[in-house]
C-alpha cells in the first residue's frame, strides 16, 4: 500500500526496534527491584528519560512516562483540576482539540469544573486575545494543542503562554502531533505541561510522556506504588520506554521538514491542477505541519473515495479515530467548513518512507476515482 497516514500512526523505525528488542528478549527485571537486573532496567529508563527531555529542552526529572498522549493529557487536566480545586474551577480550551482533551473536560463538569471553548478562524487558528478574554479569576488551566492533527494548523503557543503567565494560569499543550515534525522546546514555547506520544514519532503505540515543569505538583491520574517518582503508578514498560527514547534521538537528528513539505505540496498541486474547483484546501496555507494536507473533494464522500482506492492508506474526514462516525469532523465544523465539503474531506500525511513516486501514484488513483464518482456531477471539473 501507499501509506499516507503518518498522522494516525507511524511504523516502528528499524533503529528503534533494534534498541528495544533486547528488553523484550534477553534483558528482564523490574525497574523497582534492587538486584542487578532491576538496576539495569532502571538505568535504561533513566537514559531514555534523558533522551526524551533533550528533544524538548526539558530536564529529565520533568518527564513522566505514560501509556501515550491520551493518558498524558488526561493526567494533566484531571491532575490540575484536583490539585487546584481550592483555587478555582475553570479551564479554557479550543474548539479543535483532540478528544483526549475535550472528553476529560466534559467528565469534569460532573465535579463542578467549568470549561470555556474558544473558537478558531477558518484556518483553524486560535486568537490569543480570545484566550485572554476568556480568563477569569477562577481559571486554573489553559489547554491548547500545539498543532492540529486533522488539518495541521500550528497554534500561536508562545503568545498564548505569555498571556497565561501574566495571568498566573498554568498552560498545557498537546504536542503529540507536532513532535518530530517541527521544533518543540518547552522554554521557547513557555508551557507548563506538554503531552507526547511515541507512536507518532516511529516508536510503538502504548508509550508516551507528560512534561511537568519543575516546581509544579499535580495529583496523579493512576494511583498505586511510587513509580515515576510517585507521579504515575505502574511498573514501567522498559522496552517501550527505551524505544521512545531512541525515537527521540532519531527525531533530533533527522527532522525532514523541507522534504515532507515538498511531497505534501506535490499532492496539492497535482490534485488541484487536475480537479480545479472540485478540490478545496482546508487549514492554514503556510502555518501548518510540513507533512499534512487536508482537502475536500466537492460532491464526493471522502470515505467512499478512499474505499475506491484500496492501495492508498489515508484518513477520511480528518483523524483516523473519527473515520467511522457518520458526521463531519468537529474540527472542520469549527472552521466553518460547509457540511457538503466536510463530508468530502481526506487527510494525507507523509512521513520518513514516503517517496515522490508514492505521492504521484496516489494522486493518479485519487483523481481517477473522483472523476468516476463525479461523472454526473457538473460542479466538478475535469481538467487536463
Q: Which residues are catalytic?
A: 321
- Residue 227 cell numbers, joined: 513509580
CA distance 201 to 206: 12
**CA gap 221, 72 in Å, rounded:** 9
Of 37, 98, 52, residue with least CA distance to 71: 98
Three-class secondary structure of residue 51 per DSSP: helix
3-state secondary structure of 174: strand
How far apart are the C-alpha atoms of 42 and 227, rounded to whole Å?
Answer: 11
CB of 218 within 8 A of CB of 79? yes
Task: State phi, psi for 222 to the nearest 5 degrees.
Answer: -110, 120
Q: CB–CB of 302/346 below 8 Å? A: yes
Adjacent-strand bridge partners of 344: none
Question: Is 121 buried (19+), middle (13-18) or exposed (0-12) by CB count in 10 A?
Answer: middle
Closest among 198, 244, 210, 180 to 63, alpha carbons compared: 210
Q: Is 217 helix (H, G, I), strand (E, B) or coil?
A: coil
Amino acid at each position: 500500500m501507499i501509506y499516507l497516514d503518518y498522522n494516525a500512526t507511524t511504523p516502528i523505525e528499524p533503529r528503534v526496534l533494534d534498541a528495544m528488542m533486547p528488553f523484550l528478549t534477553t534483558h528482564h527485571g523490574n525497574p523497582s527491584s534492587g538486584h542487578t537486573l532491576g538496576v539495569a532496567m532502571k538505568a535504561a529508563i533513566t537514559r531514555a528519560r534523558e533522551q526524551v527531555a533533550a528533544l524538548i529542552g526539558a530536564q529529565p526529572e520533568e518527564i513522566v512516562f505514560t501509556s501515550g498522549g491520551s493518558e498524558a493529557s488526561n493526567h494533566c487536566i484531571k491532575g490540575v483540576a484536583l490539585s487546584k480545586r481550592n483555587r478555582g474551577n475553570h479551564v479554557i480550551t479550543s474548539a479543535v482539540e483532540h478528544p483526549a482533551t475535550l472528553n476529560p473536560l466534559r467528565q469534569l463538569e460532573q465535579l463542578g469544573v467549568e470549561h470555556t471553548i474558544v473558537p478558531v478562524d477558518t484556518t483553524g487558528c486560535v486568537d490569543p486575545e480570545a484566550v485572554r478574554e476568556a480568563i477569569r479569576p477562577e481559571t486554573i488551566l489553559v489547554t491548547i494543542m500545539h498543532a492540529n492533527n486533522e488539518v495541521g494548523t500550528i497554534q500561536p503557543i508562545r503568545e498564548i503562554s505569555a498571556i497565561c503567565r501574566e495571568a498566573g494560569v498554568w498552560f498545557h499543550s498537546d504536542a503529540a502531533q507536532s513532535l518530530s515534525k517541527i521544533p518543540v522546546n518547552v522554554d521557547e514555547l513557555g508551557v507548563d505541561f506538554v503531552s507526547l506520544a511515541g507512536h507518532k514519532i516511529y516508536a510503538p503505540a502504548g508509550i508516551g510522556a507528560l512534561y511537568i515543569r519543575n516546581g509544579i505538583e499535580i495529583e496523579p491520574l493512576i494511583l498505586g506504588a511510587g513509580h515515576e517518582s510517585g507521579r504515575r503508578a505502574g511498573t514501567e514498560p522498559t522496552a517501550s520506554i527505551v524505544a521512545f527514547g531512541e525515537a527521540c534521538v532519531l527525531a533530533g537528528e533527522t527532522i525532514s521538514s523541507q522534504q515532507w513539505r515538498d511531497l505534501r505540496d506535490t499532492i496539492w498541486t497535482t490534485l488541484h491542477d487536475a480537479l480545479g474547483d472540485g478540490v478545496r484546501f482546508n487549514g492554514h496555507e503556510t502555518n501548518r505541519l510540513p507533512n499534512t494536507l487536508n482537502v475536500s473533494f466537492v460532491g464526493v464522500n471522502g470515505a467512499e473515495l478512499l474505499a475506491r482506492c484500496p492501495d492508498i492508506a489515508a484518513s477520511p474526514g480528518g483523524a483516523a479515530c473519527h473515520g467511522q462516525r457518520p458526521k463531519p469532523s468537529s474540527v472542520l465544523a469549527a472552521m466553518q467548513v460547509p457540511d457538503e465539503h466536510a463530508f468530502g474531506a481526506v487527510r494525507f500525511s507523509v512521513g520518513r518512507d514516503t517517496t515522490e513516486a508514492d505521492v504521484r501514484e496516489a494522486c493518479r488513483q485519487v483523481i481517477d476515482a473522483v472523476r468516476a464518482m463525479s461523472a454526473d456531477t457538473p460542479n466538478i471539473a475535469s481538467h487536463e
